[in-house]
């Protein structure tokens, strides 16, 4: 890459040097023609006309030879340019002296020489050329007027011209520095673009899906190996666009008269390919171009992926149902164990509990299936005081002595009753499992503020490790060997379905899971 940049710079200097040589030839020939046409009428205006004429003849001859040599031998361009500028200053100084001294017209030629040297040579060499030009200008007046005190004031004109040379030299160097900055910026940008192109090409080569970009004439602008494999083609990497008709005529015949809409999908089969290809159309917004992106996928693989997703969803649904019916099953088992040793009144109460929990199991199955089918929830107004009394006496009767409730009176929320019950059973039993061994209870605190109700379920155990915080509400994540990892996931899902939010709040000791939902006044 660096070699290419250096070669490009050398080529640019060579071209500029060639143009400058052509300019010198034109100027010298023009001065000679002007002299030949006006010599008889204006001969008195020249101090040394014969010196002026023969200098121009020599200057034109040198310029022709130098231009031919530069075109035939482009090497050693810097040395040739140094010689060119030195000859320019010498010849122009003789011409100026023979014409009677510096004037505005000839001085402009000095300015062009100095500016060109500042552009084409480095700073040291261009400064030498500038100083040489200053000396050649000043000596003419200085020598001619040194002993003529009446004409010493003409020396100030030469000094002013010398100052102008330095100004032009400075301007030229500033222009060169700006050019170098732009060149360096262009160089770094070209490297970044080259790197991005390599990254993009590598990514396209690694992607399993096929990507093909077509222009408005159905020419292939870009394609990746996956697209080539799916279409049974092998488009060579080239900077030129390749006609689709040449490589995949079947696809060309299918889309050549079609007005492909953005997002359109269709299935494609070809004799060139062993695959049935699913094609999705995407219009690309590119300045001054109408490009179409075809996203190609193996239709058979897509079908397999859909089947796998269905099986995974079925497995997740089955696991969630199994997880949710554990709580009512545990209540049924416990009630059954107490049934034989109980009196008639207690047996009747336990029988009602067994019947209710059996119905609850059926309700859990139905609700989980409804969640899987995206069935809408049925929010209703719930009085939390009555709700928690029912929850503790019916669903948490075995652990209600380990729950401390802090509930203000007359707090109502909008929530699906069955789903809120499931959420709180999960959170409370989870808190009891992780509570400290010396802690006599867990807390359930209810707070109302600014139109929102917070229900906090707090334990005093070790809390949730920081490394596990990001995984808390993901399915099948559990810190227990026997856990299924669906309790918090389903609780989070139920809360979202009721426009509520379930979050984890860090505490100095223990854990706090907070439900935030709307207040009903």
At 161, the pLDDT band (50, 70, 90 cuts) reads low
Which has more pLDDT, 499 or 197?
499
Mean pLDDT over each residue of the chain, to the nearest integer? 78
pLDDT > 90? residue 468? no
Backbone angles phi, psi at 289, to 5 degrees: -140, 145
- Per-residue pLDDT, 102: 63
Among the listed residues 377, 367, 379, 353, the one whose alpha carbon sits nearest the alpha carbon of residue 325: 367
Interval 122-131: pLDDT, tens: 777 877 777 7
Which has more pLDDT, 22 or 288?
22
Q: How far apart are CA 20 and CA 118, in angstroms?
A: 13
pLDDT > 90? residue 456? yes
Percentage above 90 pLDDT, the chain:
7
Q: Give the architecture-level CATH label for domain 209-300.
A: 2-Layer Sandwich (3.30)
Interval 100-122: pLDDT, tens: 766 666 767 777 777 777 777 77
Give the helix/strand (H/E) hosting 480.
Answer: none
Interval 387-433: pLDDT, tens: 999 989 888 888 888 999 999 888 889 898 888 998 999 899 889 98
β-sheet bridge partners, residue 277: 268, 298
Domain residue ranges in the chain? 2-186, 209-300, 376-518
- Per-residue pLDDT, 146: 46
pLDDT > 60? residue 97? yes
The mean-pLDDT minimum among 50-54, 93-97, 185-189, 333-337 falls in: 185-189
| Cβ pair 249, 258 in contact under 8 A | no
Interval 437-450: pLDDT, tens: 888 899 999 998 87
Q: Within the chain, how many helices (H) and strands (E) appear?
A: 15, 13
Give the mean model confidence (pLDDT) for residues 279-297.
84
Q: How far apart are CA 465 and CA 463, in angstroms?
A: 6
If you write DSSP's letter for every residue of 111-173 in order, what string do you get? HHHHHHHHHHS-HHHHHHHHHHHHHHHHHHHHHHHTT-GGGGGGHHHHHHHHHHHHHHHHHHH
What letter does residue 477 receive in the DSSP assignment? -
- Per-residue pLDDT, 444: 93
Give the mean model confidence (pLDDT) for residues 59-87.
83
Which has more pLDDT, 149 or 97?
97
Interval 185-212: pLDDT, tens: 777 777 887 788 778 777 777 888 888 8
Helices 2-42/77-98 angle, 10° precision: 20
β-sheet bridge partners, residue 219: 243
- Per-residue pLDDT, 286: 76
- Per-residue pLDDT, 52: 80
Out of 3.40.50.1010, 3.40.50.300, 3.30.565.10, 3.20.20.100, select the CATH number for domain 376-518.
3.30.565.10
At 513, the pLDDT band (50, 70, 90 cuts) reads very high
Give the mean model confidence (pLDDT) for residues 212-217.
85
If you write DSSP's letter for every residue of 411-437 in order, what string do you get? -EEEE-HHHHHHHHHHHHHHHHHHS-T
pLDDT > 70? residue 144? no
SS3 210: strand
């Amino acid at each position: 890459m660096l070699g290419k940049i250096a070669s490009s710079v050398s080529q640019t200097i060579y071209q500029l040097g060639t143009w400058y040589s052509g300019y010198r030839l034109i100027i010298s020939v023009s001065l000679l023609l002007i002299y030949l046409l006006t010599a008889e009428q204006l001969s008195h205006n020249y101090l040394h006309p014969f010196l002026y004429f023969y200098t121009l003849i020599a200057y034109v001859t040198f310029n022709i030879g130098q231009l031919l040599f530069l075109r035939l031998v482009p090497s050693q361009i810097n040395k040739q340019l140094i010689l060119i500028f030195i000859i320019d200053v010498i010849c122009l100084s003789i011409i100026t002296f023979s014409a009677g001294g510096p004037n505005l017209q000839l001085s402009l030629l000095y300015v062009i020489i100095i500016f060109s040297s500042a552009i084409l040579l480095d700073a040291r060499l261009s400064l030498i050329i500038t100083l040489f030009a200053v000396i050649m200008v000043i000596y003419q007046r200085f020598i001619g007027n040194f002993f003529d005190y009446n004409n010493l004031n003409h020396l100030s004109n030469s000094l002013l011209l010398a100052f102008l040379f330095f100004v032009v030299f400075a301007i030229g160097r500033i222009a060169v520095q700006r050019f170098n900055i732009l060149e360096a910026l262009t160089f770094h940008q070209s490297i970044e673009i080259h790197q991005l192109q390599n990254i993009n090409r590598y990514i396209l080569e690694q992607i399993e899906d096929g990507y093909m970009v077509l222009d408005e004439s159905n020419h292939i602008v870009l394609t990746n190996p996956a697209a080539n494999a799916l279409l049974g083609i092998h488009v060579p990497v080239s900077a030129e666009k390749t006609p689709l008709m040449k490589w995949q005529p079947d696809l060309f015949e299918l889309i050549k008269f079609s007005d492909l809409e953005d997002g359109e999908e269709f299935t494609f089969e070809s004799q060139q390919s062993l695959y049935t290809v699913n094609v999705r159309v995407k219009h690309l917004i590119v300045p001054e171009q109408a490009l179409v992106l075809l996203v190609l996928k193996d239709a058979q693989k897509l079908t397999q992926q859909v089947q796998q997703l269905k099986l995974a969803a079925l497995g997740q649904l089955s696991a969630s149902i199994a997880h949710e019916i554990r709580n009512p099953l545990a209540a049924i088992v416990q009630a059954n164990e107490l049934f034989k040793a109980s009196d008639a009144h207690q047996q009747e109460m336990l029988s009602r509990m067994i019947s209710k929990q059996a119905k609850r199991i059926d309700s859990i199955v139905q609700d989980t299936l409804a969640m899987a089918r995206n069935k809408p929830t049925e929010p209703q107004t719930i009085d939390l005081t009555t709700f928690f009394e029912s929850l503790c006496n019916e669903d948490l009767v075995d652990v209600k002595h380990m729950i401390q409730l802090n509930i203000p009176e007359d707090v109502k929320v909008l929530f699906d009753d069955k789903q809120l019950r499931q959420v709180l059973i999960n959170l409370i039993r989870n808190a009891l499992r992780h509570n400290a061994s010396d802690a006599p209870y867990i807390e359930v605190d209810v707070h109302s503020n600014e139109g929102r109700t917070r229900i906090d379920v707090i334990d005093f155990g070790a809390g949730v490790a920081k490394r596990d915080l990001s995984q808390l509400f993901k399915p099948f994540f559990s810190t227990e060997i026997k856990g299924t990892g669906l309790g918090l996931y389903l609780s989070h899902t139920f809360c979202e379905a009721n426009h509520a939010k379930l979050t984890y709040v860090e505490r100095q000791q223990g854990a706090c899971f907070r439900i935030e939902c709307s207040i009903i006044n």
